[in-house]
Amino acid sequence: MSRQTDASDHEISAIRKYPLLLHRYVRLLEVSTDLASTLKLETLLQHIVEAAMELTDSEAASLLLYDPQAHQLYFEAATNDLVDQLGRTAVPAEDSIAGWVFTNREPLVVQDALSDSRFFREVDVLTRFSTSSVMGVPLRTKDKTLGVIEAVNKLNGTFDQEDVRLLQALAAQAAVAIENTRLFQQSDLIAEMVHELRTPLSALTAASHLLQRPDLPTDQRDRLSATVQTEVQRLNDMTTDFLELARLESGRIRFVREPVHLGGLVGECLEIVRAQAEADHITIETEIDTSLPPVHGDRNRLKQVVLNLLSNAIKYNRHDGSIAVRLRRDGGEFQLAISDTGPGIPPESLPHLFERFYRVPDQEGHVSGTGLGLAIVKRILESQQGQVIVESEVGKGTTFTVRLPASVIPAMETRPAS
């Protein structure tokens, strides 16, 4: 009699849960459609973790992708603003719950994370988040495992097999969407790159053909040799910047999270470009608040940003011009403004400055460049939760302002391996 009663209770419970379960699967179908139409990787990953949190009724969710070169998993997206503290923190493929899921290619539910030896405690230290339960499933395509989705802290009750099935269904759709987005971005960027390569390659083809003529005057031969050298350098710079941007847009660059003193960093960059400025008789004025606390970011990448903007301020300046560099705190953010006295940028060009391969028409031919530098600057700053804005007036000059959040750095901050 008791067995019949238990079976009956189970059936009644299942019937009561059916409307909720149906709603969750309907929501899964809606989410799948959304993922299939999202072609920006960062946006896509954020949509995935938000859907994972909603579908599993969890306090938070995160997504980790595997880097085959570093042999580590990296946090690429998280809900509840946790990614602001995590950045792209490395998680070992061994000795972690996510690592176990990735290695075994199987789902895993851990109801008491703190008592599990695989729990990677550094994440809670960095985020000041309290993890109690974790459910992880692998992100798998037909050919490989891309990473792991984790749902953290079930809000009502405990994670069950229905939660696992829902998260697996989401992961299957997410893995395909991630691969498609990567392929789309790469093909789009490659098509632009091939188009841009045609100009220097055409110049090199013409120059090499003319240089073979025995009757070519010496002065023309010298000019053509200089053209070859210039275009070869342009190709070298373009391919270097192209590979950098491709890695940034694919999410394969790993950013370190460490304290960075912007005052010292800016001073270091100024010393690097000072000789270049002096050669063009360009003066540099500085107003740097050295008392600023450190920001939370990747020092090498932020240095790349500052050097790029300083080099542009020199390159696009007038002879005997000047540059003003100001670093200050404005409320909850740090602002680094770099102003030049160059020709300025036409209003119609300002919205396109950070697009790949874009060059201001009036400056084309006057100064060589790859058209990728500012796109790289923008992408790096976005990864650091920052932004760059530009103001310009034709005939007077241009100001680029970098804004970075003045976040509080946890006392137990570490620099993860990459």
CB-neighbour burial class of residue 371 (10 A; exposed 0-12, middle 13-18, buried 19+): middle
Q: What is the mean pLDDT of the chain?
A: 82
CA 119, 125, 129, 132 dihedral sign is positive
Mean pLDDT value of segment 189-198: 70
Q: Which of the four pLDDT bands, split at 50, 70 and 90, describes residue 362?
A: low
How many Cα atoms are found within 13 Å in the side-chain-facing hemisphere of 359? 14
Domain boundaries, the chain: 2-183, 255-418
What is the residue whose two structure tokens read 């070992």? 92
> CA dihedral defined by 305, 370, 88, 59, rounded to 10 degrees?
100
The class (CATH top level) of 2-183 is alpha beta
Tell me what pLDDT residue 340 has. Answer: 95
Model confidence band, residue 321 (pLDDT cutoffs 50, 70, 90): very high
- pLDDT(324) > 70: yes
pLDDT at 106: 95
**Helix runs in 56-160, H state only:** 82-86, 97-104, 122-127
- Four-way CATH pick for 255-418: 3.20.20.10, 3.10.105.10, 3.30.565.10, 3.20.20.70: 3.30.565.10
pLDDT at 1 over 60: no
CA distances from 191 to 186, 290, 355, 374 (A): 8, 45, 15, 19
Q: What is the pTM of this model?
A: 0.56
Q: Return the pLDDT at 21.
A: 66
User: What HEC string does 17-74 produce?
Assistant: HHHHHHHHHHHHHHHHHHHHCCCCHHHHHHHHHHHHHHHCCEEEEEEEEEECCCCEEE
More confident residue, 374 or 187: 374
Q: What is the three-state SS of 187-226?
A: HHHHHHHHHHHHHHHHHHHHHHHHHCCCCCCHHHHHHHHH
- Per-residue pLDDT, 392: 94
For the segment 65-93, what is each residue's pLDDT rounded down to a tens digit? 988 777 788 888 888 766 665 656 778 77
